[in-house]
Copies of this chain bind each other. A is one copy, B any other.
Amino acid sequence: MDFTEKILSEKQIYKGKLLDVRKYEVVLPNGLKSGREVIKHIGASAVLAVDDENNIFMVRQYRFAAGEHLLEVPAGKFDRHGEDPLECARRELEEETGKKAEFWSYLGYILTTPGFTDEKIHLFLAKGLFDGKTNPDSDEFIQLVRTPLAEFEKMIREGNINDAKTIAVYTRAKLSGGI
């Protein structure tokens, strides 16, 4: 069944440093009009980086919006519209962990919260890790964490890892036999 909503008008409500807030007038499948509010997002990549001893790399940082310190896999936004998701993934992995990877597998994408944003995060599994040029300690507000896979799974199970993309990239890697 096709429930597509057609766009009648689009208006930018707010453009901040980070957020692009838009309001749309749409036609519902039954012909009635309705409003839609959307946070436009450029897109992002996230990486499950696994070393030869089956450790997972994460970063721990304070997330102001969430009001908590969170453990997350390396991830970040595209630096321009249409950036290759793999290029973004490589950059974010090296920036946040200092590592590069020999082997990359694409694990599809997720929509983080499709009720109000188009944010799409592309997921990758990275193996064959080796040292890059970046020193991750240069960002004083991010802490690099290396966790054995079994402990990482326990942290997801027990609610010590609560970041949606981190859980999703693990799950895709697991179900596809990559880890």
- Residues of chain A at the chain B interface (Cβ within 8 Å): 1-5, 13-14, 16-19, 21, 23-24, 26, 28-30, 35-39, 60-70, 72, 108-120, 140-141, 143, 153, 156-159, 162-165, 167-168, 170-172, 175-176
Q: When A21-B19, A64-B24, A175-B156 are in contact, do A112 and B109 touch as well, CB less than 8 Å?
A: no
- Copies per complex? 2
With a cutoff of 8 Å between Cβ atoms, the chain B residues found around residue A175 in the complex are 153, 156-157
Complex: A40 Cα to B178 Cα, angstroms: 36
**Besides the known contacts A3-B143, A5-B64, A63-B111, 19 further A-B residue pairs in the complex with CB atoms under 8 A apart:** A4-B62, A16-B35, A18-B116, A39-B65, A39-B116, A63-B114, A65-B117, A65-B118, A66-B118, A70-B111, A70-B114, A72-B114, A110-B163, A110-B167, A111-B162, A111-B163, A111-B164, A113-B164, A157-B172
Interface of chain A, main secondary structure: mixed
Minimum distance in angstroms from A114 CB to a CB of chain B: 4
Q: Are B13 and A36 in contact (CB under 8 A)?
A: no
Say which residue of B67, B171, B176 sits within 8 Å of A118 (CB atoms): B67
Closest 9 CB pairs of A and B: A108-B159, A3-B62, A63-B114, A66-B114, A164-B164, A157-B175, A112-B113, A38-B65, A16-B37
Q: When A66-B111, A159-B108 are in contact, do A14 and B3 touch as well, CB less than 8 Å?
A: no
